[in-house]
Chain A
Amino acid sequence: MKSQISNAMLLAIIINIVYAKAIGVTQGIIARQAGGDMWIVTIFSTVFGLFIMFLTVLIIKRSPQKNILEQTKDLVGKWGEKFLALVMFVFFLGAYGGIMITVVYHLMDYFLPEVPTYIFVVLVTGVGLYGIIKGVEVVARLAILGVFSIIFLNIFLLLGSLDYFDIQLFLPVLRNGFFNAVEVTKHHNADWAMATLMVAIILPMVKQKEKWMKYSTKALIIGGGFILMWPILEVGVLSPEVAGQYIVACMQMARSAEIGLFIHRYELIMIIFFAISALIQVMMCLLCASIAAKHIVGGENLNLLLFPVALILGGFGYWVVNDHIRAMDLLTYYWPRVATPITFAVPIIVFLLGIIFKKNLVETNGGASM
């Protein structure tokens, strides 16, 4: 892990890796299950994400040169490392399916319905692979552009939608009950898990470890804020009932936004500004899955694994998105069952293992931990 990125770059990556999927596909599912409480669900989920991120940074700080997989090896041995790597690979494989749903359906359903699905998957995975080959630093720089794009997109959408905003649509608050809102966070938690598990892998590449906690949590709060604008507008402008009718709720928002005659139908504006965030998701997912695969096979050269991992993830992504019903069933019903335990269990278990086997970590670090 020779690449070094700054904390600001880490912040940009965290914001990007969550944003693209969370504003549209996830919000559509949440709208169907939580109705007008979707914005409250987003806030709850961001709070959970904040807790998990806090825990993840604490774990890595115990041995700052090592990622969560390397630390697990120190704590419980090689097989523990391989098992955790397998779990994380499965997570990023599943997450890649969600990302493909986001990217492909944005483009296919709204712009290019006649283009075969595999072309989307091949091109998007190819670009992701190219980015990863160029290195994390390049992806991080792209993520900075992604953050600017997100800011522009949010401002544009806000300006184009506020005329139709109706506060009445938010009432009654917590209409489906508090516990339902907490339960529905599982969809958005899976998005935040991409960020927390990614941080668990790439944090040792980030310079100035004393700023890790500040920037990671700041990223979550800022990213959460950027995302929160969408469910608020989706409730206040579209209404939760309408938002729930669409796979990609954010595109429906974009379609209805307008400023005058010549800046109407924001779909193209949306894609232009959101594409980088979506591609950052693809790139980081590929990278993290490749690093997990490296720990599974025990190889040294990450570059050798990038292409086969891209093939596996791309193949799975294609299988998912090739059928809309399968895609949405997987994402709505099955993915949360896989992702939720991983989201919470991985950091909590590794954190507890670190407390129980603290001696192992200290010995392997030559007494330099914590």
Chain B
Amino acid sequence: MNLKEQLEQDVFIRLKQNVDRIQNILGHSSDLVKREFFIMDNSDFEVTVIFIDGLVDENQIDKTILSPLLNNNRNLQFLNELTKSEEIAQALTKKLLLIPSINTVIKFQDAIDELLAGSTLLFVDHCSQAFVLSTQGWDSRGIEEPQTETVIRGPRDGFVESIRVNTSLIRRRIRDPMFRLQSMKIGERSKTDVAIAYIDGLVREGLVEEVLERLNRIKIDAILESNYIEELIDDAPTSPFLTVQGTERPDKICAGIYEGKVAIIVDNTPFVLLVPTHFWTFLNTSDDYYTHFMMASFNRLIRYMAFIISLTLPSMFVMLVSFHQEMIPTPLAITIAAGREIVPLPILLETIIMEFSFELMREAGLRMPKPIGQAVSIVGSLIIGQAAVEAGLVSPIMVIVVATTGIASFAIPNYFASFSIRLIRFPILIASGTLGLLGFSTIFVVVLIHALSLRSFGEPYLAPIFPFNSSDQKDTMVRAPWWAIEKRPVDVKDDPERDTKGQKPTPKK
């Protein structure tokens, strides 16, 4: 009998057969632990407890399973009268075991799934069902500040690798009875726990069904990180733009849920997904909502400028210096020309080499241990940059342009969105260096049309600017004060009001 047939079989009535089958299915794994004993020394009730070492909380097993069943002081006369399988099951679940969560399964497939998820299996002789006792417990990283999305002001907690901890972090912020959490397992072999979270009544009609449909469509052997899900539910899988937002911040996820979005939480990763996603949200930070609205708006405008600089500065520089020198004010043109006097490379090649070097340093700095990574950045940017200028390989203004572009790209709060912008920069750069203004405009408009054509779970990716929606502008390029943001985004159909009408504080006269 092959493995699949074994899994599809029902649990046997004989204990030994069940234990043998479990061991057989799991190939006598060394971390499989079994404990055989009689309930209250009663030889008519032989039981075996099976669990995977490292996935369970052994203290809990001891206190809630073994101790109650081995305790000789309890009056268990009634046990002798039990003969049927159902009676034994009822007695165990209602009278003997102290564990809070008990389920019974009758198929080996279900029993194995639960065992591998950290539950403990309990088999009783003469009982044709397996008891699944919820004893999950493994070491996990504590809640820490997210590494990729730091804030000046705001909560410091970030998601961790445990789905249950992550859902609790969301629950703590949303005490709404309409909050919904739906779980499923994805991955033929990994059976990774995935949950979607949303607020019923806020979420756009059909969005939850769409998310579930896309998740259920996934057929893959393993999900090790939420990016697996992201790539498999993406609206634009071949686009450099991200149409699904991933974040480590529970507050960001909750803000999204309050705006009618759906969160997708995946076990074993601190990155939770949020859909639908609009491009402009990648330029927002959590701080924007926790600081004074003027400060937040100013910072946002800086980030929008950083986005434009990051995307176009090297291309504009190459385009102007190579093809349209007359557009540069004369004193500046002379300075640039003086700096480039001894540089042997054409400007396009010089820029590509510098951009490539910058990316090289960034990648090297990222992959190395932190202290060494910082050293690499410093050595790379200061010493090599200085040496390259002095050697006449690159012009000083090129160093300024590339460094400014790099810094601008780091000002984009979402690292992954910033990376996609960096990718787009290269075709624009090459087009500008070969065809000047024509190349720049052509590729830029192609990228723009592509971005305009994108949708994220049915919503235009560049909304609310394209298509333009005036009420949503209060939280797009600038952040209006909370008392002025009276409505949720337009896509929230059922409950558009935030209940902030007339909240502008006025001092007593």
Chain A residues within an 8 Å CB radius of B435: 112, 115, 119, 123
* B-binding segment of A50-58, A70-78, A81-89, A259-267: A259-267
Interface string of B424-466 (1 = CB under 8 A from A): 0000000000011110011001101110110000001010001
Contact B438 A115 (CB under 8 A): yes
The CA of A300 and the CA of B363, in the complex, are separated in Å by 52
Taking CB atoms and an 8 Å cut-off, the chain B residues in 464-504 that contact chain A are 466-468
Main secondary structure of the interface of A (DSSP, over half): helix
Contact A111 B324 (CB under 8 A): yes
Given contacts A123-B438, A141-B462, A261-B329, contact A130 B468 (CB under 8 A): no
Interface string of A262-288 (1 = CB under 8 A from B): 101101100110011001000000000
Contact A107 B437 (CB under 8 A): yes
Indicate whether B3 reaches chain A with its CB closer than 8 angstroms: no
Indicate whether A9 reaches chain B with its CB closer than 8 angstroms: yes
Indicate whether A138 reaches chain B with its CB closer than 8 angstroms: yes
The CA of A156 and the CA of B357, in the complex, are separated in Å by 38
Give the Cβ gap from B461 to chain A, nearest Cβ, in Å. Answer: 10
Contact A127 B446 (CB under 8 A): yes
Indicate whether A145 reaches chain B with its CB closer than 8 angstroms: yes
Given contacts A119-B435, A262-B329, contact A275 B449 (CB under 8 A): no
Contact B441 A145 (CB under 8 A): no
Interface string of B12-48 (1 = CB under 8 A from A): 0000000000000000000000000000000000000
Contact A265 B449 (CB under 8 A): no
Chain B residues within an 8 Å CB radius of A279: 445
Query: Which B residue's beta carbon lies closest to that of A126?
Result: B442
Chain B residues within an 8 Å CB radius of A123: 435, 438, 442
Give the Cβ gap from B302 to chain A, nearest Cβ, in Å. Answer: 20
Indicate whether B152 reaches chain A with its CB closer than 8 angstroms: no
Chain A residues within an 8 Å CB radius of B446: 127, 130
Give the Cβ gap from A85 to chain B, nearest Cβ, in Å. Answer: 27
Indicate whether B326 reaches chain A with its CB closer than 8 angstroms: yes
Contact A111 B442 (CB under 8 A): no
Contact B324 A141 (CB under 8 A): no
Give the Cβ gap from A368 to chain B, nearest Cβ, in Å. Answer: 30
Contact B449 A130 (CB under 8 A): yes
Indicate whether A6 reaches chain B with its CB closer than 8 angstroms: yes
Chain B residues within an 8 Å CB radius of A9: 467
Query: Which B residue's beta carbon lies closest to that of A262?
Result: B329
Give the Cβ gap from B140 to chain A, nearest Cβ, in Å. Answer: 45
Q: How many residues of A contact B (CB 8 A)?
A: 33
Indicate whether A144 reaches chain B with its CB closer than 8 angstroms: yes
Chain A residues within an 8 Å CB radius of B445: 127, 142, 275-276, 279
Indicate whether B416 reaches chain A with its CB closer than 8 angstroms: no
Indicate whether B323 reaches chain A with its CB closer than 8 angstroms: yes
Chain A residues within an 8 Å CB radius of B324: 111, 268
Indicate whether B327 reaches chain A with its CB closer than 8 angstroms: yes
Chain B residues within an 8 Å CB radius of A271: 437, 441
Indicate whether A131 reaches chain B with its CB closer than 8 angstroms: yes
Chain B residues within an 8 Å CB radius of A134: 449-450, 452-453
Contact A112 B323 (CB under 8 A): yes
Contact B466 A145 (CB under 8 A): yes
Contact A111 B437 (CB under 8 A): yes
The CA of A92 and the CA of B188, in the complex, are separated in Å by 56
The CA of A262 and the CA of B466, in the complex, are separated in Å by 32
Contact A275 B467 (CB under 8 A): no
Indicate whether A8 reaches chain B with its CB closer than 8 angstroms: yes
Contact A144 B467 (CB under 8 A): yes
The CA of A130 and the CA of B332, in the complex, are separated in Å by 38
The CA of A124 and the CA of B443, in the complex, are separated in Å by 11
Contact A141 B441 (CB under 8 A): no
Indicate whether A120 reaches chain B with its CB closer than 8 angstroms: yes
Chain B residues within an 8 Å CB radius of A276: 445
Q: Which of B323, B327, B450 contacts A267 (CB 8 A)?
A: B327
Chain B residues within an 8 Å CB radius of A145: 448, 466
Chain A residues within an 8 Å CB radius of B452: 134, 138, 141-142
Chain B residues within an 8 Å CB radius of A142: 445, 448-449, 452, 466
Indicate whether A298 reaches chain B with its CB closer than 8 angstroms: no
Indicate whether A135 reaches chain B with its CB closer than 8 angstroms: yes
Contact B468 A8 (CB under 8 A): yes
The CA of A239 and the CA of B505, in the complex, are separated in Å by 56
Contact B449 A112 (CB under 8 A): no
The CA of A130 and the CA of B349, in the complex, are separated in Å by 29
Chain A residues within an 8 Å CB radius of B323: 111-112
The CA of A134 and the CA of B451, in the complex, are separated in Å by 11
Task: Among B437, B449, B460, find the residue whose CB has the most chain A CB atoms closer than 10 A.
Answer: B449
Contact B326 A138 (CB under 8 A): no
Interface string of A240-264 (1 = CB under 8 A from B): 0000000000000000000001101
Taking CB atoms and an 8 Å cut-off, the chain A residues in 1-41 that contact chain B are 6, 8-9
Interface string of B273-305 (1 = CB under 8 A from A): 000000000000000000000000000000000
Task: Among A138, A141, A261, A264, find the residue whose CB has the most chain B CB atoms closer than 10 A.
Answer: A141
Chain A residues within an 8 Å CB radius of B466: 141-142, 144-145
Chain A residues within an 8 Å CB radius of B436: 111-112, 115
Give the Cβ gap from B351 to chain A, nearest Cβ, in Å. Answer: 19
The CA of A271 and the CA of B449, in the complex, are separated in Å by 18
Query: Which B residue's beta carbon lies closest to that of A135?
Result: B453
Give the Cβ gap from B435 to chain A, nearest Cβ, in Å. Answer: 7
Chain B residues within an 8 Å CB radius of A115: 435-436, 438
Contact A275 B460 (CB under 8 A): no
The CA of A124 and the CA of B441, in the complex, are separated in Å by 10
Give the Cβ gap from B347 to chain A, nearest Cβ, in Å. Answer: 16
The CA of A145 and the CA of B442, in the complex, are separated in Å by 16
Chain B residues within an 8 Å CB radius of A135: 453
Chain A residues within an 8 Å CB radius of B450: 134
Contact B448 A119 (CB under 8 A): no
Q: Which of B327, B438, B448 contacts A107 (CB 8 A)?
A: B438
Interface string of B300-344 (1 = CB under 8 A from A): 000000000000000000000001101101001000000000000
Contact B468 A138 (CB under 8 A): no
Contact B438 A138 (CB under 8 A): no
Contact A275 B453 (CB under 8 A): no
Contact B327 A141 (CB under 8 A): no
Taking CB atoms and an 8 Å cut-off, the chain A residues in 64-123 that contact chain B are 107, 111-112, 115, 119-120, 123
Give the Cβ gap from B507 to chain A, nearest Cβ, in Å. Answer: 38
Contact A6 B327 (CB under 8 A): no
Give the Cβ gap from A336 to chain B, nearest Cβ, in Å. Answer: 29
The CA of A60 and the CA of B34, in the complex, are separated in Å by 80
The CA of A135 and the CA of B455, in the complex, are separated in Å by 13
Chain B residues within an 8 Å CB radius of A6: 467
Query: Which B residue's beta carbon lies closest to that of A147?
Result: B468
Contact A265 B462 (CB under 8 A): no
Query: Which B residue's beta carbon lies closest to that of A131?
Result: B449
**8 nearest A-B pairs in the assembled complex, by CB-CB distance:** A134-B453, A141-B466, A138-B453, A141-B452, A268-B327, A138-B452, A123-B442, A111-B437
A sample of 11 inter-chain contacts (CB < 8 A) reads A9-B467, A123-B438, A127-B445, A127-B449, A134-B449, A134-B452, A141-B452, A141-B466, A144-B468, A265-B327, A279-B445
12 extra interface residue pairs, beta carbon distance < 8 Å, beyond A9-B467, A115-B436: A111-B323, A119-B435, A120-B438, A127-B446, A127-B449, A134-B449, A135-B453, A142-B466, A144-B468, A262-B329, A265-B326, A275-B445
